[in-house]
Amino acid sequence: MARIEPLAPGDLWPPDITGLVPGNDCTDHVYRFDAAVPGPHVLVNALMHGNEVCGAVAVATLLRAGIRPCRGSLTFSFANVEAFNHLDPQFPVLSRYMDEDMNRVWAPDILAGSGDSIERRRARSLWPLFAEADFLLDLHSMQHDTIPLMLAGRSARGRALAGRLGMPGFVVMDGGHAGGLRLIDHPRFTDGADGPVALLAECGRHQDRSSARTALAVTARFLAVTGAVATTALSPWLPSAEPPPPRFVEVTETVTVCSEQFRFLQDFKGMDIIPRAGTGFAVDAGRLLRTPHDDCVMIMPARVPMRGQTAVRLGRFRS
Ligand SMILES: [Zn+2]
């Protein structure tokens, strides 16, 4: 079972993100560096969710190591610092956000609109920067899935970049959530045949130390593959050999919670495979929900399913 209880001594604890050497961007908790040689703008974001600290460990580690771009621009950002600063080790899950989920506010009309929340204000302050990124990696962790995943959205270019990275070993091609657009779903990163690319890495469970190691390795690989940073500078975190091609999972259905009575029929851990089509996997509003096809992959089942939010994504492996 995933845990709602306090962080334990052996868990991944929130890192210190103070005292980092500033870059040349004046937005708070944003660190931008420009190389003398022109090239793409590569951006790595952490803390879209305040309790997902593995990305913050990775970014703080790379900043403290003095990682700089060899061409173009490199930006590291910490998004929901307000929620992170409120992280109570007794109840870490409560610091996912302050007012609303920050990874559901990236629709252009919300960014341009007048609706107010702590998360919308921060998203509006970060968007001009994100809107300049050619390659963007958004670092997250999960409630109780231990298998790291790259979420590539629906775009061919997202899928292609995730394939080149090869880390982590699974790439999920999905269309997001009914609850609102994620950063990687912003039309800038999805529309048209060509253009900027954004990926979302789910690095493991929130409280696992291995999630921070995964976040560091995936980020190092991303910086190497995009050509932003010299591989020699990244060698402490890069894999020793070229990773094999990842496995691709296409989301066939996103299940949204309809009622307070939603419950799963099993304690799915994530990436569980249900062999037979028509197998019941959950009950919602008195209705049995069944798998739509054989070999149905249960992707990121919610630990606490909430009405209007995604309960689970169903998918199938693609060659
Ligand atoms: Zn997240």
List domains and CATH numbers for the chain: 30-234 (3.40.630.10), 249-318 (2.40.50.630)
pLDDT computed for residue 4 by the predictor = 65
Cα–ligand 1 centroid distance for 37 (angstroms): 34
Distance (angstroms) between ligand 1 centre and the Cα of 141 equals: 6
Residues in the chain: 319
User: What's the Cα-to-Cα distance from 181 to each of 12, 140, 230, 270, 281, rounded to whole Å?
Assistant: 28, 16, 33, 22, 26
CA of 278 to the centre of ligand 1 (A): 30
- How far does the centroid of ligand 1 lie from the alpha carbon of residue 23, in Å? 25
Q: Is the pLDDT of residue 266 over 50?
A: yes
Q: How far is the CA of 36 from the centre of ligand 1 (A)?
A: 34
Q: How far is the CA of 103 from the centre of ligand 1 (A)?
A: 7
The neighbour count for residue 48, using CB atoms within 10 Å, is: 28
Return the closest-CA partner of residue 217 out of 235, 199, 200, 190. Answer: 235
Cis peptide before 168 (omega within 30 of 0): yes
The percentage of residues in the chain with a pLDDT greater than 90, rounded to a whole number, is 87
Task: For residue 270, give Cα distances in angstroms to 133, 147, 281, 292.
Answer: 31, 7, 13, 17
pLDDT over threshold 90, residue 177: no
**CA 221 / ligand 1 centre spacing (Å):** 20
Mean pLDDT, residues 190-214 taken together: 96
Question: For residue 46, how far is its CA from the centre of ligand 1 (angstroms)?
Answer: 9
The token duo for 165 is 């990275």
pLDDT at 287 over 70: yes
Residue 178 has pLDDT above 70, yes or no: yes
How many whole angstroms from 186 Cα to the centroid of ligand 1? 16
Closest CA to 205 of 50, 5, 59, 12: 12
11-52 pLDDT, tens digit per residue, is: 999 999 999 988 888 899 999 999 999 999 999 999 999 999
Identify the burial level of 110 via C-beta atoms within 10 angstroms of its C-beta, where 0-12 means exposed, 13-18 middle and 19 or more buried: middle
Ligand 1 centroid to Cα of residue 70, in Å, is: 29
Looking at the predicted structure, is the pLDDT value of residue 298 above 60? yes
- Please state, in angstroms and rounded to a whole number, the distance separating the CA atoms of residues 298 and 300: 7
**Tens digit of pLDDT for each residue in 215-239?**
999 999 999 999 999 999 999 999 9
H or E segment and range at residue 211:
helix 209-225
Instruction: Report the alpha-carbon distance of residue 119 to residue 97 in Å, rounded.
Output: 8
The predicted structure's pLDDT at residue 169: 92
Question: What's the CA gap between 37 and 153, in Å, rounded?
Answer: 31
d(Cα 222, Cα 11) in Å, to the nearest integer? 26
**pLDDT class of 303 with cuts at 50, 70, 90:** confident
CA of 250 to the centre of ligand 1 (A): 20
The reported pLDDT for the residue numbered 304 is 84
User: What's phi and psi for 189, nearest 5 deg?
Assistant: -100, -5
